[in-house]
Chain A
Amino acid sequence: MKVEELYQEIILDHYRSKHHSGLREPYQAEVQHVNPTCGDEVRLRVHLVGDTVSDVSYESVGCSISQASTSVMADLVIGHDVAHGLGLYEEFLTMMQGKGQIEPNEERLEDGIAFAGVAKFPARVKCALIGWSAFRDAIIQARAQ
């Protein structure tokens, strides 16, 4: 796969205008994740109402892959229940660790399937995962309260 094919229109669209970006109140947990190799940083908040993820808000800097992936994640998890979000995290993680061999489920991952190609570039997998890992971490913290 050529690198150019990695940069699908969907990814660049999300990079250009990140959905749900910005830090908002209220929130139950806030986490900060960084990738010290390339300097990507995300600060992310979650707010739960019962079992529902009522908001995910974030401030982040980084490459197109990390920014777009965080934006797609927020689209997918907000308004759904926690179990659904964590399930998507697992699916996305499996896709990323699949070295490009795993056929993603478009119905569930929606725009997230645009990142299937990233799995073929080990150096970029971390970029695609940073927002998702922050989300999972924040959920764990919010539920611990």
Chain B
Amino acid sequence: MSLDGGPEYPVTTDLSDVAPGSLALVEEPIAFDVEAIRADFPILERTVGGTPLIYLDSANSSQKPRVVVEAVEDHYLNHNANVARAMHMLGAEATEAFEGARAQLAQFIGAHRSEEVVFTKNASEALNLCAYTLGASLRPGDEIVISVMEHHSNIVPWQLLAQRTGAVLRWFDVTDEGRLDLDKAVAEGLLNERTKIVSIAYVSNVLGTINPISQIAALGHAVGATVVVDASQAVPQLAVNMADLGADLVAFTGHKMVGPTGIGVLWGRYELLAALPPFLGGGEMIEVVTMAGSTYAPPPHRFEAGTPPIAQAVGLSAAAQYLSVIGMNQITAHEREITGYALEGLQSLPGVTVLGPNELVDRGGAVSFTLTAADQQPIHPHDVSHLLDSRGIAVRAGHHCARPLHERFGVQSSTRASFYLYTTRAEIDALIESLDYTIAFFGRLR
């Protein structure tokens, strides 16, 4: 890339003939060694009141390996400047790092072109971007379809859109087992000629359910709808290939995939992105500005108003590289094994009810459950998590930003344990033992 007389933005890489996920770096998979992986995450050495920290809240935010933190540090200490508009050496380096991160991410998710990768501040912003830009062509009576298992980030932007446009928000129900109820949807005619947008989570952050995205995308496309996927919980734990998925727009977030906070990604089919209006206005997203009006940059820059999360992109690129070197398939396999082990342990405890699939079929690494003491009195998740925390175990308590889903299951809240590439069987043993203690503690005192 050259700055003298070159385009304002460096020419981004054409990836069409690079096989997805085949990073130049990866020659052959290295054996999966959880202890070696843990050594990359200094925070896991922390202790809580003398006992080791057990971090079972990765679905909320994952921990960061040293290489990611060092990539961010190196960028700030040695290459920092603004991108695209700074015409000097550091500006060129920063731009190259930022656009290089885009190319790396594109490769990681199997995008055809790096221009299909838009950097946002998180998944929520990416989903709001979808709602705002797709919403420009909605009319009263058009329908938007989501599901009852969505994170609030994939509910509220669509509610706001429906309010603005007079469109109708409808949703897939779930079965008692925690799967999308496709039969009911068909019976109800949920998807029909009025459906303009379908937006569904790839993996539920509460139930762990992996949804059949390709099937839903085909159903959506059959009625002419645009298909949006919230892949916030999927990209961290599954090898996701945008070219194969069948969706039109896919959102995910950096901090759940061992990357920094403050950065998210919206992937979109290029032709679709090129047809969408801008989202936020500002610097970087324009072509020509006059007081009478402006023209807009092509994707991805059209959707990146203002100074983007540059160092965060560098960190996220390092994160994608880190995950690729370990191998997404190996991470999926590890997560599956740990989840199976945890489900077994949880089912061995009297008084535990798991929300969502009890078996390992199409299931990711988040397990939410409720607890009751021996006298059938429920033990509230906030009380559970507080007791676990005192024993060094970090879990999440509450509705996990999915209140409608909890309502669907008739519970106000739940406790969620979630796992990642650094989670060990010993940590699951500690969780089960501490839950056993919790049940006994609240039972005994009654």
Query: Which residue numbers of A lie inside 8 Å of B, CB to CB?
Result: 2-4, 6-7, 9, 12, 16, 37-41, 61-66, 121, 123-124, 127
B380 touches A62 (CB 8 A): yes
Q: Tell me if B32 is interfacial: C-beta within 8 Å of chain A.
A: no
Q: How far is the CA of A115 from the CA of B397 in the complex (A)?
A: 21
B:30-58 near A, CB below 8 Å: none
The 5 closest A-B pairs by CB, nearest first: A63-B382, A3-B390, A63-B380, A38-B398, A39-B413
Pick the residue among B390, B413, B446 that contacts A38 (CB under 8 A): B413
Question: Residue of A at shortest CB range from B389?
Answer: A3
B446 touches A37 (CB 8 A): no
Return chain A residues, CB-CB under 8 Å to B389: 3
B380 touches A64 (CB 8 A): yes
Task: Give min CB distance, A21 to chain B, whole Å.
Answer: 15
Question: Residue of B at shortest CB range from A64?
Answer: B383
Task: Give min CB distance, B49 to chain A, whole Å.
Answer: 9
Q: How far is the CA of A65 from the CA of B442 in the complex (A)?
A: 13
Return chain B residues, CB-CB under 8 Å to A12: 442, 445-446
Pick the residue among B382, B387, B445 that contacts A127 (CB under 8 A): B382
Task: Give min CB distance, B370 to chain A, whole Å.
Answer: 13
Return chain A residues, CB-CB under 8 Å to B382: 38, 40, 62-63, 65-66, 124, 127
B:376-403 near A, CB below 8 Å: 377, 380-383, 386-387, 389-390, 397-399, 403
The CB with the most chain B CB atoms within 10 A, among A3, A7, A39, A124, is that of A39
Question: Residue of A at shortest CB range from B401?
Answer: A36
Interface majority SS (helix, strand, loop, mixed), chain B: helix
Question: Residue of B at shortest CB range from A121?
Answer: B386
> Can you identify 17 A-B contacts, CB atoms within 8 angstroms?
A2-B390, A3-B386, A3-B389, A4-B441, A6-B386, A7-B441, A9-B445, A16-B446, A38-B381, A38-B382, A38-B397, A38-B413, A39-B399, A62-B380, A64-B380, A124-B386, A127-B382
Q: How far is the CA of A3 from the CA of B389 in the complex (A)?
A: 9
Return chain B residues, CB-CB under 8 Å to A124: 382, 386
Question: Residue of B at shortest CB range from A123?
Answer: B386
Question: Residue of B at shortest CB range from A6?
Answer: B386
Known contacts A2-B390, A37-B398: A61-B445 contact under CB 8 Å: no
Task: Give min CB distance, B241 to chain A, whole Å.
Answer: 36
Task: Give min CB distance, A6 to chain B, whole Å.
Answer: 8
Q: Tell me if B261 is interfacial: C-beta within 8 Å of chain A.
A: no
Return chain B residues, CB-CB under 8 Å to A7: 383, 441-442, 445
B:360-386 near A, CB below 8 Å: 377, 380-383, 386
- 12 further interface pairs, Cβ-Cβ under 8 Å (given A38-B381, A38-B382, A66-B382): A3-B387, A4-B387, A4-B441, A12-B442, A12-B446, A16-B446, A39-B412, A62-B380, A62-B412, A63-B381, A63-B383, A65-B382
